[in-house]
Amino acid sequence: MKIGVLALQGDFAEHLAILKRLGAETAAVRLPGQLDELDGLIIPGGESTTIGKLAAHYGLIEPLRRFGQERAIWGTCAGAIFLAKDARRAKEGQPLLGLMDITVERNAFGSQVDSFETDLDVPALCSNGNCAPFHAVFIRAPLIESVQAGARVLASLPDGRIVVAREGRWLATSFHPELTGDDRFHAYFLKMV
């Protein structure tokens, strides 16, 4: 199984390290031709405006959309924004892949100083009766305001705000699962692939 991580901007190196640890073959993706050989792709956190602009510059937008019609994509934080059909408060002209039927709000928890960590219940990660909470790191994170069509909610904060959603082969997380040493989300994505 070969998994790519979009490596235009953001913390792609951390995702690559976890995937390798889990035994997947990996590729740091910067050009459209690299997509052909992949079974799945992670779009990391970073700055969604920058990721979108660089993706447009390198001719990746349409190839990524085609890739997502057939294969699995997981967007974390900025990557979740880039994957969404609707990103409220997105900068005008900010390129989005527009694949997943979710509405996200950028920077919904406030500015950088309002970043926080919390333990999340994620029933989809339970295995063999082990349902330990997932320690989630939110860095100037987006909120998944609502899910539409075939998208469903996989985890919310205690107040009901949605932070993980899945629609078929697409997964979106508001936070950074690559920063805590807990590789259960990456293992879950490999199973999806």
Active-site positions?
A: 77, 176, 178
- Among 106, 134, 147, 173, the residue binding ligand GLN under the rule CB under 6 A is 106
- Confirm or reject binding of residue 99 to ligand GLN (CB under 6 A): no
CB contact burial 13-23 (16+ within 10 A = b; e otherwise):
ebbbebbeeee
Query: For 72, phi and psi rounded to 5 degrees?
Result: -80, 140
| CB-based contact 102:82 (threshold 8 Å) | no
- Confirm or reject binding of residue 8 to ligand GLN (CB under 6 A): no
Minimal distance, residue 20 CB to ligand GLN, in Å: 22
Minimal distance, residue 136 CB to ligand GLN, in Å: 12
- Among 8, 60, 73, 77, the residue binding ligand GLN under the rule CB under 6 A is 77
Q: How many residues bind ligand GLN (CB under 6 A)?
A: 11
Q: Which stretch binds ligand GLN (CB under 6 A): 14-22, 61-69, 73-81, 148-156?
A: 73-81
Amino acid letter, residue 63: P
DSSP E strands: which ranges in the chain?
2-6, 25-29, 40-43, 72-76, 84-88, 100-105, 116-120, 134-138, 143-147, 152-156, 162-167, 170-173
- Complex with ligand GLN: residue 108 or 151, whichever CB lies closer: 108
**Chain center to CA of 103:** 14
Contacts with ligand GLN, residue ranges (CB under 6 A):
45-48, 77-78, 81, 106-107, 139-140
